[in-house]
Structure 1
Amino acid sequence: MKFDFDDLKVKVGFEIHQQLDAKSKLFCNCKCVEANGSYDNNFIRILRPTKSELGNFDRAAIFEHTKMSTIKYYSKVGLSCLVEADEEPPHDINRDALETVLLFSLALNSNIADEIHVMRKLVIDGSNTSGFQRTMLVSTGGYLKVDGFKKIGVQSICLEEDAAKLLPHSKLYKEYGLDRLGIPLVEIALEPISGKPNEIVNVALTLGRLLRSSKRVSRGLGTIRQDVNISVNGGQVVEVKGVQQLSQLVKVLDYETKRQYGMIKISEEFEKRNIDDDFIGDKIQDITFLFKDSSSTILKKILKDANSILLSIRLRGLNGLIGYEPISDIRLGKELGEFVRFFGLGGIFHSDELPNYGITVKDVDSVKELLGLSDSDAFLIIGGNEKKVNIVLEPLIRRICEFRHGVIAETRAATMDGSTIFSRPRPGSSRMYPETDILPISIESVLLDNLKQKIPLPWNDLIRQIMEKYGLNNKLSEHIFDSQYYDVFEKIVSTSKNVTPTFVASKLTEDIVSLSRNNLDKSLLTDDMLIEVFDKLEKGFIAKESVTLIFEKIMKKESKTVKEAMSSLNLIEINDDELHKILDKILNDNTLVIKEKGANSIGALMGKSMITLRGKVDGSKINEYLKKKIEYFIDDELSN
């Protein structure tokens, strides 16, 4: 089915979260550097929800608490301290970070508050040791200019702490690294907009370019995250968190629009069948005994633990609706399976897909008989640890009831393939309360006047400046600036005399992108590695064609360092003395060719030289040296 964003009246609102390029964290002096898995200490916490200043619990916090596990935090000296461990009050705010966000507010024509108050935003998923995230509203209103004339409204601009980094965790603990916790982050929320996907993506691209043009933000995967609020006509707003790339954003918009439209179509079926809440889960039966001797591999795996059970849930009037696909791959059954997996269960079985998975017709009939099902009824089976099953039971039934009304207002997480999965209910107003350890911050007009002189250049002027400074064409200037490699590009070309900026920019954009499309991991190429590769090229230790080969070796995980990659490719560093010796030997072995062809022997000698030196020395350098040696040989022959 082809979708038209205009017909569905799709509305999209952006919240951009961008790490600032700060020397220290927001409320302490620890460095803003990744630990890369190297930690010194760890400690354990259990987080619980607390009431807001009005005495209410936030529904998102309550939901997180129902599935909460013990949390283990890892820290590294210099990258986190007692502030991140919530064992010490926050220090004074990082003034540079505050000034950066004020600068963005001015650039977006936003109304800056006279006094900024730090707030606590409840977060008990484990990503904050304190159970809250410190955030402050800096400005409201304003607009972003897109394509030089279109104005997109700004809702708010905030300065806040980044969350701790989720690590691979065990069954016992949910694990986080504290190196990222507390890094300054700007949050910019835009007004909802309508338009085609490419128009919506262009808005995100324009805002990202504005932030990067300040040269005050971090670059690279994970340093910018976009939360996208999406709604279709007749539906509720769904927040999708964690979109990191523009290519991923296009897929998320497409998938989430289809999903929401599909949920509306499913709700229409509920209405046609006159289903009400009393029909959902009116009978629940423990059916563990029915499957004790089942030959189903999946059920055997579930029931191998003595504490595991199987429960069946009656769904009156829902026969055929759980597996119904109004749109390809959009099903109520899929939604419910994702929901229970979030609680640590493997998924669900439902009557629309059975018999299957080793569950026989006889098994299905037995469940139907126990539940007293009519031909119009359906059932679900959930299985796993008894405690987890009992925890998920009530929320699962409530969720099915909510789907009667169409799209559920909730928070979902973006996956790398562009789909979305349930994360938690939308937070309410009870999520926020004042930070009592930090005084309000007054914003002086003198400071704002000084910052007005530092507002970033408009996009077109910035690209023109890059073209003039480095001699790049317009397309390459845009590509290198939009990439995560612009800062390292500037470092490389500032020390290069023999390697052109055009060559460096093309390798950092076109070649790395091309390798990435073959499922190679560009995150393995660190800035230091890139600088080292181009330094080798600058000094003549490798040839131009070797640059991409070295990138490929590292991105394939075949080499961990530049040195290893060079060794694997047999790219032994050759200095000028060694190069002259090799070329002299080639000349001595081919004197007859030189005598016969004279200066025209350069082609044959280049071919023989490249057999030995390909990738180790730049071809232009070999050509230059050979020409001089041939000329000297010919002159010497004539003089004799």
Structure 2
Amino acid sequence: MEKADLKRLGFRCGIEIHQQLEGRKLFCSCPTTLRDDEPQFTVKRRLRAVVGETGKVDIAAREETEKGKYYVYEGYYDTNCLVELDEMPPNPINSEAFSTALQVCKMLKGDFVDGAQVMRKTVVDGSNTSGFQRTALIARNGILETSEGKIRIPTIIIEEDACRPIKNEKDHVVFRLDRLGIPLMEIATEPDIISPEHCKETAEKLGMLLRSTGKAKRGIGTIRQDVNVSIKEGNRVEIKGAQDLKSIPTLIENEIKRQVNLVDIYKELHKRRVKKFDNKAVDLSKLLKNSGAKLITKTLQAGNTVMGIKLNGFAGLIGRETLPKKRLGTEFSERAKVIAGVGGIIHSDELPAYGITDREVDILRKELLCKEQDGFAIVADEKERCLKALVAVNERANQAIDGVPMEVRKANPDNTTSYERQMPGAARMYPETDIPPIKITKKMISSIKLPELITDKAPRYEKMGLGKDLAILTAKSPKAVLFEKLVVKHKKIKAAYIAEIVMTADKIVKRQFKIDINPTEEDYELLFDELSADKISKENVLDILKENKPVSAVIEKYHMMSDKELEAELKKIVSANKGLQFNALIGEAMKKLRGKAAGKKISEMLRKMAS
């Protein structure tokens, strides 16, 4: 999409980066490891929205409460505690995570607050056992330099991550406690981003800056991007969960197209002079009791209901595309699914279909009192769910009359989006009463050391002899500190070899031997100590690691032979291979003594014997 088109549309864009940090959890000492083994206990809860500091109930929290769902939390006795279950007050904030947050603020040249006040942010979608997320503002007014100019950073925050969703059922959601409380840095930008590609660059630079601390977690789900997009005639839409940086431009372009198409629908509705309406759901079960539609028949046979609602002035617009394979009717359906837990809706622009005939469509239009320009929606489920779903459809239709609704949407794998919830407001914030404000003194700020940026570190590693790709991989890795320590200690071993082993040995062992290994720092240190002292050979390094045991437990059996032992073995080989050419003899010796002696030494000893 050209910059001129974006300017004409009044494109505005900002981004929020959420990065998990290594170490212990933010308000307890539990580990931050995600587990896939069978949980050891479950807890069931219901959460309800309450008024925030402003005296109002947050709109998004109210919407979640109205769903009527309950929540199940899975946990482990050895890695979860009462803080995560909200059965005891939080511990003081994790000092290591807080120090990292201060470091990030300084890197972005932010203005530190005098005291970090931990706040409770109301969240009743079940992702927090307490019904709120603890969050603390650390600094304001930061700056990020990009190729398109400066990006303003209004807030830099540290907060706790939410529970991990496992399963979403009609009446409940299952969460796991392992992710709850992981320290999370949140960096938000002003809408200074001027294009979809610029948004990708901004996300990359913020991610690089966070990884430069050496404290950022790595892997899928450890960093999440939320993108805010609007156009002049549209509205601010927050897209949550953009995982892949490469997909961000397409995701934004699709949201621009969506808003343009919704604006066109809004203009058509105004041409038709459609006013907002509050239509009541009508029970259509008796009219459709003999229908050939499988969905209808199955619902009625289960003792459930089919209900419908008139959508004034929407004929021909419900089926209007907002994106390829997405229509306004899709947005009505998404809203009904999220609010009421139904499987979806059927609307008049797609009928006759699904076994519903032309004659049945005419009967439905008559029953719902539809005029020529009116559309309708029907839903088949339990009566209460049907009523909730159609109220949600009515509300979304009224929003279409106003244009583009301000809302939170989730990113889909195909780079489109789906409705998630209403946009929350200030009503969801109130102070945390169990944690006093944390003073940020001038002494604390002056003591913060800025890390070397990855963009500076990688070229330095290239000068040390690493190839470009290996240099970038090493610079981005949390193991870069270990690499540098080993390079300083073992000057006779090439830096490139140390980097290759430390950064890629686990992948090589997995690929060649189908074994998952996770060597510790102590393992690598002992490995290179022995290699540096000529006690083991390079040929044995992967063999030692693939044992998948502490290096100290297996290293001795890979020790190289003494000169005396080597000479004795070579004599045996010569004796057993009399008449063999010298080169063939070397080949035989190398094959039998691989990893037990240096190749150069084997060759020299054999020459002496031959002469």
Answer yes or no: same fold by TM over 0.5: yes
- Partner of residue 461 from structure 2, selected from 458, 461, 466: 466
CA RMSD in angstroms, aligned pairs only: 4.3
- 1:28 alignment partner in structure 2: 28
Contact 1:153/1:191, CA 8 A, preserved across alignment:
yes
SS of residue paired to 2:30:
coil
SS of residue paired to 1:500:
helix
Describe the superposition over 1:492-519 as per-residue Cα deviations: whole angstroms up to 9, x where unpaired.
999996982564589589999xx9xxxx
- 1:319 alignment partner in structure 2: 315
CA distance in 2, matches of 1:150, 1:586: 71
CA distance in 2, matches of 1:81, 1:624: 53
Describe the superposition over 1:113-160 as per-residue Cα deviations: whole angstroms up to 9, x where unpaired.
11221111100000111111111111111211225x932111111121
Describe the superposition over 1:442-471 as per-residue Cα deviations: whole angstroms up to 9, x where unpaired.
2221111111xx1122444222333345x2
Describe the superposition over 1:2-23 as per-residue Cα deviations: whole angstroms up to 9, x where unpaired.
994344332211111111222x
CA distance in 2, matches of 1:48, 1:332: 31
**Alignment size in residue pairs:** 584
- 2:123 alignment partner in structure 1: 123
Contact 2:227/2:240, CA 8 A, preserved across alignment:
yes
- 2:17 alignment partner in structure 1: 16
Q: Aligned pair in 2 of structure 1 residues 138, 487: CA closer, same or farther (>3 Å)?
A: same
SS of residue paired to 1:175:
strand
CA distance in 2, matches of 1:29, 1:113: 26
Q: Aligned pair in 2 of structure 1 residues 310, 9: CA closer, same or farther (>3 Å)?
A: same
Q: Aligned pair in 2 of structure 1 residues 409, 170: CA closer, same or farther (>3 Å)?
A: closer
- 1:215 alignment partner in structure 2: 214
Contact 1:532/1:562, CA 8 A, preserved across alignment:
no
Q: Aligned pair in 2 of structure 1 residues 631, 508: CA closer, same or farther (>3 Å)?
A: closer
Return the offset for 1:64: 0.5
Aligned 1:38-117 pairs, distance under 5 A: 38-117=38-117
CA distance in 2, matches of 1:405, 1:138: 38
Return the offset for 1:420: 1.4
Q: Aligned pair in 2 of structure 1 residues 359, 589: CA closer, same or farther (>3 Å)?
A: farther
Q: Aligned pair in 2 of structure 1 residues 423, 483: CA closer, same or farther (>3 Å)?
A: farther
Return the offset for 1:35: 2.9
- Between stretches 345-354 and 361-370, larger displacement belongs to 361-370
Contact 2:228/2:238, CA 8 A, preserved across alignment:
yes
- 1:568 alignment partner in structure 2: none
Question: TM-score normalised to the size of structure 1?
Answer: 0.79
Q: Aligned pair in 2 of structure 1 residues 407, 488: CA closer, same or farther (>3 Å)?
A: farther
Q: Aligned pair in 2 of structure 1 residues 107, 317: CA closer, same or farther (>3 Å)?
A: same
Return the offset for 1:243: 1.8
SS of residue paired to 2:55:
coil
Contact 1:230/1:239, CA 8 A, preserved across alignment:
yes
Q: Aligned pair in 2 of structure 1 residues 75, 326: CA closer, same or farther (>3 Å)?
A: closer
| Aligned residue identity for 1:477 | A
Return the offset for 1:245: 2.5
SS of residue paired to 2:386:
helix
CA distance in 2, matches of 1:19, 1:539: 36
- 1:456 alignment partner in structure 2: 451
Return the offset for 1:376: 2.4
Describe the superposition over 1:35-80 as per-residue Cα deviations: whole angstroms up to 9, x where unpaired.
3344322211110111123321111100001113111112223432
CA distance in 2, matches of 1:383, 1:360: 17
Q: Aligned pair in 2 of structure 1 residues 283, 176: CA closer, same or farther (>3 Å)?
A: closer
Return the offset for 1:265: 1.7
- 2:334 alignment partner in structure 1: 338
Q: Does 1:410 align with 2:407?
A: yes
- 1:478 alignment partner in structure 2: 472
CA distance in 1, matches of 2:408, 2:315: 29
Q: Aligned pair in 2 of structure 1 residues 443, 530: CA closer, same or farther (>3 Å)?
A: closer
Return the offset for 1:380: 1.0
Aligned 1:217-616 pairs, distance under 5 A: 217-278=216-277, 282=279, 284-306=281-303, 308-325=304-321, 327-342=323-338, 343-451=340-448, 454-469=449-464, 471-482=465-476, 500-501=497-498, 503=500, 527=518, 540=539, 599=583
- 1:206 alignment partner in structure 2: 205
Return the offset for 1:244: 2.2
Q: Aligned pair in 2 of structure 1 residues 235, 489: CA closer, same or farther (>3 Å)?
A: farther
Q: Aligned pair in 2 of structure 1 residues 315, 601: CA closer, same or farther (>3 Å)?
A: farther
Q: Aligned pair in 2 of structure 1 residues 478, 542: CA closer, same or farther (>3 Å)?
A: closer
Question: TM-score normalised to the size of structure 2?
Answer: 0.82
Contact 1:43/1:73, CA 8 A, preserved across alignment:
yes
CA distance in 1, matches of 2:256, 2:6: 8
CA distance in 1, matches of 2:237, 2:139: 25
**% identity of equivalent residues:** 35
SS of residue paired to 2:63:
helix
Q: Aligned pair in 2 of structure 1 residues 356, 541: CA closer, same or farther (>3 Å)?
A: farther
Aligned 1:113-152 pairs, distance under 5 A: 113-147=113-147, 150-152=149-151
| Aligned residue identity for 1:208 | G
Q: Aligned pair in 2 of structure 1 residues 128, 574: CA closer, same or farther (>3 Å)?
A: same
Describe the superposition over 1:298-324 as per-residue Cα deviations: whole angstroms up to 9, x where unpaired.
334434432x21112112322211111
Q: Aligned pair in 2 of structure 1 residues 530, 98: CA closer, same or farther (>3 Å)?
A: closer
Aligned 1:154-173 pairs, distance under 5 A: 154-170=153-169, 173=172
Contact 2:574/2:585, CA 8 A, preserved across alignment:
no
Structure 1: stretches of 5+ with no match in the other structure: 516-521, 551-560, 564-572, 578-582
